[in-house]
Structure 1
Amino acid sequence: MKHLWWKISFYFVLFVLVLFMAINDYSPVLIVGTAVMATLIFFIIQFIYPLALEKRVDRVESFLRSQKNTPGLYINYVFANRLEDEARTIMEQLMSKYKQAAAQASYKAAYGVYRKDMTAVQEAVPYIRYSDYRAYYETILLSEDGESAQARKHLESIKKPWMRSALLAEIELKAGCIETAVKHAREALNSSRGVQHYVLHKEYERILPQAVELVS
């Protein structure tokens, strides 16, 4: 409802602005340019910023909850909050929407990790397009197989700092090194933003609550 109110307010203000410029004989090019620029700024504030830049968990959560009609985004809210029934439903929607193996792979791998079904993760990994995400799930598989040394070596190929830190936190947690796990978890939180920050924060609230203390 809040997002709808913001959209209505924006379009009303934009209409008034364009009408004012038209009445006062502003150049059509200037009017169109102003409208396009205002729309772009609004889109960035309402969509891009919470998706990729926001650090406040409550704001990202509000954004994700408003994305029920966008399953590719809403799935992050569902997994982060362990909504079992919705998880099955939204996976069915995604599998129905995306038919190609490569398009399905990342969702299948994430769902496999969510259910702790490493066979599903292993089957999905070869089809993941992006190297960092493929290496991320390969490292998880190594860690789950008890190959911590190989997992540490494998994650070195990952460019995204939050991924490396999150994986190291998982490895250290499995090894019982809580303080080191907390250190890496905080690094992951500090180097992540938007949806990834939200997902990590919600996970650490459950499995490593010390990591979310005093972290913005």
Structure 2
Amino acid sequence: MRVAVLFGIALLLGVLLGLLELGQPTSMIISMIVIVVLGTYLFIYPIYWEKNIRKIESYLEKRRKNPVFKLYYGMGNRIDQDVKEATEALLQKYKDPTRQALFKTLHALYEDDILRVKKDVEDIRPPQYKAYYQAIIAVEEGELEQAAELRKQVKSEWMKHALAAGIAKKAGNHEEYVTEVQKAYEKSRGMQRYVIYKQFEEDMKVV
């Protein structure tokens, strides 16, 4: 549908510029700029910058043939079969050990299998992402000081607040937990925002 919309707009734009008689070089430049901007909005904006959870979820649901989108949609809605099939497809498609480690870690976390997470996380790159998942492991094991130290290696603001929320919850500090959940949500956009919302959905209702 989005491709059809983009094609239709490009066609109308071509007709309009022809009527304005701006000249071929100028018309081509304007057309390219408009198409790039629209293409970015229609296809990239929902993944990286969209803030509306329903729009993000709708975007993912309609594109479940793509294993990445299927994985995130499946994880967000606890559809075990989708998560399993998407993970298998991604492992088959991407042979790079660092990518495989990330998909395996996400799957293990989904299944609450910390032993598998500890094994798979070793190959994750870049270092800040490895530290993020190591911090999650530390929180699950009650090693809160270690989790706090690992958190310092994470640059992404929403990740920092998500980890702080996990640490606060494990420590029994509900007020701080709710505050950090809200901060993580506010700092995130696109699929990151979707992940945060789905992870803390029950708590987001009272935030």
- TM-score, normalising length: structure 1: 0.88
Residue 37 of structure 1 and its aligned partner are, at CA, apart by 1.2
Name the CA distance, whole Å, in 2 between partners of 1:212 and 1:186: 11
Q: Write the letter of the residue equivalent to 1:14.
A: A
**Residue aligning to 1:124:** 120
Check whether the contact 2:142–2:170 (CA below 8 A) recurs between aligned residues.
no
Per-residue deviation at 1:14?
Answer: 1.5
Unmatched runs of 5 consecutive residues or more in structure 2? none
2:40 aligned with 1:37? no
Aligned to 1:109: 105
Segment drifting more, 173-182 vs 21-30: 21-30
Aligned positions of 1:37-76 closer than 5 A: 37-76=33-72
Moved over 4 A (4+): none
Question: Aligned equivalents of 1:49 and 1:103: distance in 2?
Answer: 23
RMSD (Å), alpha carbons: 1.7
Match of 1:14 among 6, 10, 13: 10
* Structure 2 counterpart of 1:97, one-letter code: K
* 2:83 maps to which of 57, 80, 87: 87
Asked whether the 8 Å contact 1:186–1:212 carries over to 2, the reply is no
Deviation at 1:192, TM superposition (A): 0.9
Q: Distance in 1 between matches of 2:178 and 2:44?
A: 29
Shift of 1:8: 2.1
Q: Percent identity?
A: 29
* CA 24–187 in structure 1, closer or farther in 2 if over 3 Å, else same: closer
1:164-179 matches, cutoff 5 A = 164-179=160-175
Decide whether the 8 Å contact of 2:70 with 2:83 is kept in 1.
no
Q: How much does 1:50 deviate? A: 1.3
Structure 1: runs of 5 or more not aligned: none
Q: Which residue of 2 aligns with 1:98?
A: 94
Q: How many residues align?
A: 207
